[in-house]
Structures are given as C-alpha cells and as structure tokens.
Amino acid sequence: MKLEDSSGKISEPRSSSDVEAMVERVGKDIDHCILSNNDDFIQAAGSGSGMLVGYNDGGGYTECQDTNLPVETVKKLFVQFFEGDPGWKTAVSFGPQSPEANASAAGPSGASGPGTTNNFEEKGLKDTVIDSVKREAQSSFSYMIRRIVRRFLRRIF
C-alpha cells in the first residue's frame, strides 16, 4: 500500500496509526491524501471541520454523498481500507459523482472555453495552477492523471 499527500510525498504505512495521522493532517498542512493499493484507492480532501471522500475500485470513481464528513469517520474508512475490511464501502453512502459537481468544476455557470472568465489575468500563473490542481483533486479524473499532473508541476516549480 502507498499513502500520498497533496505535496506528492509517498510513503508506505506500517500501521493504522500511520494512516490516521495522515488523515488528521488534511485541512491543516495538506489539502488531500490518497491511500492506494495497486489500482484501487481511497482519497480525502477538505478543510475546516468537514471532508470529502472518494474512491476507485476499478468500477469508476465514486464519491461519498455527504461532502462534510467528520475526521473520525474518514479515519475509520481509511483504516478499514488499509486493513482490507470491505465494510468501509457501506459505512457511509457512496454514489457516482453528480453532474452538478462536474459542472461546477468547469467554472462559473458550468461553462468552459471561449466566453468564460480568464482567472490567469487576475492571478499569477502559480496560483492559477495550484487552484486548478486543488479542484482536480475533487473531480472525477482518474488517479493516474492527477499523479502525472503533480509530477509535472513539481518539475516546473
């Protein structure tokens, strides 16, 4: 198993306490974390008191219907995934990502392309790229694409 934080640091958790410690950091000093086992993964993103959890088990990306999960609940989900207990999938209500979430990721009013606001003019390149990566962490793009983008960004900055 691999445990990755939003800065791209990858480690191999040795115990459930390693996994819990990483989840505790989300919203404090990291934006998200991903626990993966081969091609399957569970990830959490959030800030403040609530977190969003999603996973991919080969059947496509699925998100928790509750977008404001308590940290303790997320820790339990991650530990169950780490321990190979399939109960984490039924501990909360998961479902496919909603079309509204895809539209909000595209920008204001769900549009992208010509005629939309160009945030590059209002922000610097680095801030724009960082904001895009954060939005991508909550989108339905595959895990591998996110890893490629992070590696690319680390080489640039």
Tens-of-pLDDT digits for all 157 residues of the chain? 999 998 889 999 999 999 999 999 998 888 899 999 988 999 999 865 688 899 988 888 888 888 889 999 999 999 999 999 999 988 888 876 544 444 333 333 333 333 434 433 444 555 656 666 666 555 544 555 656 666 666 666 5
Q: What is the pLDDT of residues 79-88, one digit of tens each?
A: 999 999 999 9
Percent of the chain with pLDDT over 70: 59
Q: Which of 51, 17, 14, 48 is nearest to 33 (CA)?
A: 51
Report the distance separating Cα 135 and Cα 1, nearest Å: 25
Q: Which of 53, 56, 81, 82 is nearest to 69 (CA)?
A: 53
Q: Which of 4, 19, 6 is nearest to 82 (CA)?
A: 19
Place of tokens 């339990």: 76
| Residue 117: both structure tokens together | 């606001």
Q: Is the pTM of this model over 0.85?
A: no
Report the distance separating Cα 20 and Cα 23, nearest Å: 5
With the C-alpha atoms ordered 98, 92, 33, 43, is the resulting torsion angle positive or negative? negative
Place of tokens 């992070």: 150
Q: Which stretches of 34-98 are DSSP H helices?
A: 71-83, 88-91
Strand partners, 45: 32, 52
**For the chain, first and last CA: distance in Å?**
28
